[in-house]
């Protein structure tokens, strides 16, 4: 065995360990999807406050049909489900703090080593953050109970938060809310500030409305209600966009799938789906080069070395990433991805340099072809298929399995500069790099040893696993299958890059609309 292969084996073990640990860690983390549902729920709560003018009273029925007859009860259910998911996550984190036993029966404290001590600190921080999240949900559940006439139940919810919370802001807010909804309401001088600082969105509106009623400030109440009407109109528009785009995409996708399926049944080998279906690539390198590029160029460089050394470099430069604003964090993510792209493509180039020039069908970027049709058509087909598998995925993981942390940052990206940076990362840099590696290189390289359908499947699974989140493996595998199919049929990397970019753009647009609520 050569030294090169020994090194590759070691790096492969490191990469597998990194991926395995990240996937295992994601199991105890709540899905980002549950947070997204709460953002959408908040938009619904705003929209439910909309009161159309008397001459347009017919809109009320249409809005009720759109939002449902029980928006507050539905919102409470969503928040209770999110609370339960967070509670499950916290229980799993707390279980990891339990000291492990020696085979001899003695206990081993986590503090025995520096690594174990750091692990405990991270777990304690995660538990504290999850507890804060749960307690803030309790404040909101109480306000939803009040809106449904369950005032006594709401006061019990806030009383529990006052007694059990370790957070001073939560205790203060719960006490103010409890005082406001007493049979004889009382307020303190800091009540308004507490509500503004610790509640947001519809929940802040509902609490402040009660406060202005109690202290008899009709002008402030009228101004608040006017602002909420403007917010409600915008919320209705955003909810309409969020509903129409996926629905329209799913409808077009199902129609396209049926049409392509019928054509395939009638024409078989002459159908669109069968085009280029029997072609493979002339691969001049062996499995070792393929292994080298995938392991070293993607996994080791982008997911081991870069996350290890880039924070050290920024720390030595005196830059504190955690204290950065949203623009700074967005820029840091873009920088990370550009370095990942540059390093990964450099390793790819030097790995296949001796085989240049390559056959014509390798890494093809051909503007004058039907790549746009394949890319857009693939996106339309992906919408219903990925949405369907996502619903199944939710049932499998029950709100656990983690998610991409960048999504939570993008939710806050109401700043145009930050949004532009996120767009550049998600819709330009990511599609180009990932499609060159997974579809441009890895998939064709596999066809030297296995059939085309096997190459598409394996590249899709590896693509999904590379995102390091258990809850995303199934949906991303389906997306990877479609990306691979589009590339093998179009023989043009511009097609999967367009599909990938459209998918990420749709996600980013949804995040922007949800976050703005």
pLDDT in tens, 171-190: 899 999 999 998 888 888 88
**Within-domain flag for 174:** yes
**Within-domain flag for 266:** no
Query: ω before 67 within 30° of 0 (cis)?
Result: no
User: Do 218 and 304 reside in the same domain of the chain?
Assistant: no
**Within-domain flag for 279:** no
Joined together, the tokens standing for residue 452 give 């085309």
**Within-domain flag for 82:** yes
Mean pLDDT of 88-94: 79
Residue 154's pLDDT is what? 92
**The total number of structural domains that make up the chain:** 2
* Residue 480 pLDDT > 60: yes
What's the predicted TM-score (pTM) here?
0.82
Residue 394's pLDDT is what? 75
Give the end of a domain, one of 181, 206, 238.
Answer: 238
Q: Which domain holds residue 320?
A: 286-515
Distance CA 424, CA 109 (A): 45
Contacts by residues 287-292 (CB-CB < 8 Å, ≥ 24 positions apart): 287/448, 287/449, 288/4, 288/5, 288/8, 289/351, 289/352, 289/445, 290/441, 290/442, 290/445, 290/446, 291/8, 291/12, 292/8, 292/347, 292/351
Contacts of 48 (CB under 8 A, 6+ apart): 67, 71, 72, 232
**Within-domain flag for 259:** no
* Residue 485 pLDDT > 90: yes
Joined together, the tokens standing for residue 187 give 């307020």
**Within-domain flag for 260:** no
**Within-domain flag for 500:** yes
Give the end of a domain, one of 238, 270, 300.
Answer: 238
User: Do 207 and 294 reside in the same domain of the chain?
Assistant: no
pLDDT tens string 222-270 = 999 999 999 988 888 888 888 888 888 889 999 999 998 998 898 888 8
């Amino acid at each position: 065995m050569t030294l090169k292969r020994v090194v590759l084996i070691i790096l492969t073990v490191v990469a597998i360990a990194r991926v395995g640990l990240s996937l295992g860690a994601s199991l105890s983390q709540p899905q980002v999807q549950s947070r997204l549902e709460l953002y959408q729920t908040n938009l619904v709560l705003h929209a439910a406050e909309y009161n159309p003018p008397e001459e347009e009273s017919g809109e009320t029925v249409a809005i009720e049909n759109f939002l449902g007859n029980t928006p507050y009860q539905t919102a409470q259910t969503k928040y209770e489900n999110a609370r339960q998911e967070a509670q499950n996550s916290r229980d799993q984190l707390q279980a990891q703090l339990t000291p492990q036993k020696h085979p001899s029966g003695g206990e081993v404290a986590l503090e025995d080593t520096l690594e174990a001590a750091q692990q405990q600190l991270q777990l304690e921080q995660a538990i504290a953050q999850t507890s804060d999240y749960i307690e803030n949900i309790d404040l909101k559940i109480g306000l939803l109970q009040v809106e449904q006439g369950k005032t006594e139940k709401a006061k019990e919810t806030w009383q529990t938060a006052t007694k059990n919370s370790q957070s001073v802001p939560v205790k203060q807010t719960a006490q103010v809310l409890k005082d406001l909804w007493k049979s004889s309401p009382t307020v303190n001088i800091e009540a308004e500030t507490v509500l503004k600082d610790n509640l947001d969105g519809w929940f802040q509106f509902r609490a402040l409305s009660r406060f202005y009623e109690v202290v008899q400030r009709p002008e402030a109440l009228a101004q608040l209600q006017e602002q909420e009407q403007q917010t409600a109109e915008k919320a209705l528009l955003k909810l309409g966009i969020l509903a129409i785009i996926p629905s329209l995409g799913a409808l077009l996708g199902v129609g396209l799938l049926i049409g392509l399926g019928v054509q395939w049944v009638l024409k078989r080998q002459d159908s669109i789906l069968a085009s280029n279906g029997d072609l493979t690539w002339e691969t001049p390198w062996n499995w070792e080069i393929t292994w080298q590029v995938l392991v070293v160029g993607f996994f080791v460089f982008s997911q081991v070395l870069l996350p290890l050394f880039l924070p050290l470099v920024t720390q030595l430069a005196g830059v504190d990433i955690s204290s950065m604003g949203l623009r700074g964090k967005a820029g840091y993510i873009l920088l990370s991805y550009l370095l990942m792209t540059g390093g990964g493509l450099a390793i790819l180039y030097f790995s296949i340099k001796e085989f240049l020039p390559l056959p014509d069908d390798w890494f093809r970027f051909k503007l004058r072809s039907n790549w746009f049709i394949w890319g857009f058509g693939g996106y339309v087909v992906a919408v219903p298929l990925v949405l369907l598998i996502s619903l199944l995925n939710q049932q499998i993981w029950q709100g656990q399995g983690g998610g991409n942390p960048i999504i939570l940052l993008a939710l806050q990206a109401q700043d145009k500069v930050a949004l532009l940076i996120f767009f550049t990362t998600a819709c330009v840099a990511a599609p180009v790099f990932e499609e060159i590696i997974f579809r441009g290189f890895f998939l064709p390289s596999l066809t030297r040893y296995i059939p085309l359908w096997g190459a598409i499947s394996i590249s899709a699974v590896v693509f999904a696993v590379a995102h390091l989140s258990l809850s995303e493996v199934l949906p991303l595998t389906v997306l990877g299958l479609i990306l691979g199919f589009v590339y093998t049929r179009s023989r043009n990397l511009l097609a999967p890059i367009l599909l990938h970019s459209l998918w990420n753009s749709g996600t980013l647009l949804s995040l922007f609309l949800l976050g703005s609520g």
